[in-house]
Amino acid sequence: MTDTIAKIRNRLVNAISDYNMLQDGDDVMVAVSGGIDSSVLFSLLIEIQRRAPFRFSLRPVLVDHGFPGSETSHFAEWIKQQGHKLTILKCDTYQIAKQNLKEGKSPCQICSRLRRGVLYAHAVEKGISKIALGHNRDDFNETLLLNVFYSGKLASMPPIYKASDNQNVVIRPLCYLAKNQIRLYAETLNAPIIENQFCRDIPNNSRYLIRNLLAKLEKDNPKISGNMLAAQSNILPSQLMDRNHWDFDTDS
């Protein structure tokens, strides 16, 4: 298990290094949700912080969406045990989503947009230099297929990008790690989970459909997820149909 944990940590370090996610003096807001991914991200960043050859600070921040049954006190206590204080930002996403959600549709887009706005505003107010999100390899691959199947575009998630407000920089250090690796690491943390049934109760959620599809494909070919992530950094414009990236009139 010790070797496996070390490999997981090394994958995070590789992602941070490959995409130059952190620099000396960074004040990093870690967007924690009380879920497995962001809790693992926060724990790994604490480890990296202790070993890094440069200094950066960490600020765990949680957006409380007001979902029924969501309890944050146990999670806040766990954060305290890690030597940090949890900042909780209130956003009545639950009521807004309920009022604007069409029947049978997922609230994910509404919740994501509201959460992003709250986090961005807080980061600007506090002068935070980076916002770390807990998206993993599976999220990258699912987003790629969601865009292809439902939006007609070839796009996924960048591991680091400057937000459209031109003020916030977002990083995704878990981009090289699969969900099953994150779950394995989470077993060592004993971090409490903040349950949210609201999203899970929505039928025909497109992301879950894509997730199930990939799970079925991986039973026959376990390399699919790794290959999909590799493809996102191995793009051949001449083998696609986008005239914005290849001049079909003059190039051959």
Q: Which domain holds residue 74?
A: 2-239
Domain membership of residue 251 (yes or no) is no
Closest CA to 44 of 74, 76, 14: 14
pLDDT for position 70: 76
Average pLDDT for 187-210 = 76
Closest CA to 222 of 212, 230, 214: 214
The pairing of strands 56-64 and 160-162 is unpaired
pLDDT for position 67: 75
Which CATH number do you get for residue 178? 3.40.50.620
15 or 115: which carries more pLDDT confidence?
Answer: 15
**Secondary structure in 3-state letters for 186-224:** HCCCCCCCCCCHHHHCCCCCHHHHHHHHHHHHHHHCCCH
Average pLDDT for 114-142 = 95
pLDDT for position 93: 74
Domain membership of residue 244 (yes or no) is no
Domain membership of residue 252 (yes or no) is no
Q: Burial level of 186, CB count in 10 A (0-12/13-18/19+)?
A: middle
Domain membership of residue 246 (yes or no) is no
Question: Could you give the C-alpha distances from 198 to 63, 106, 110, 123, 236, in angstroms and in order?
Answer: 15, 10, 13, 27, 40
Domain membership of residue 250 (yes or no) is no
> Which pTM was predicted?
0.91
221 or 165: which carries more pLDDT confidence?
Answer: 221
pLDDT for position 77: 96
- Tokens representing 5? 């944990």
Domain membership of residue 137 (yes or no) is yes
Most confident of 27-31, 67-71, 100-104, 190-194: 27-31
Domain membership of residue 247 (yes or no) is no
User: Total structural domains in the chain?
Assistant: 1
